Amino acid sequence: MDQPEILDCPTCGAKLVPIIYGLPGSPELWDAKERGDIEFGGCCIDFNAPNRVCRGKDQHGWWEDEDGVLTAIA
């Protein structure tokens, strides 16, 4: 059973968006960034790098696993 996508940060309630790593070459990715639908994470991925970030002022980082469970990344 698919779980619904989490749209809000569990810490502050702000919009939670995926982080895209690597070189963002397509115009669609840049458009999504401008709309606030994704965030760019840079070219280097650390072992503990988050894959989601909230749009709140503190930009809480999260790791969402394949089951949709979120773990806070400090």
> pLDDT tens digit string along 1-13?
454 566 899 999 9
Q: Are the C-beta atoms of residues 14 and 8 closer than 8 Å to each other?
A: yes
User: What is the pTM (predicted TM-score) of this model?
Assistant: 0.82
pLDDT tens for residues 4-63? 566 899 999 999 999 999 988 899 999 999 999 999 999 988 888 999 999 999 999 999
Containing 34, the helix (H) or strand (E) segment is helix 27-35
Map tokens 């690597």 to a residue.
22
Strands 16-21 and 52-54: antiparallel
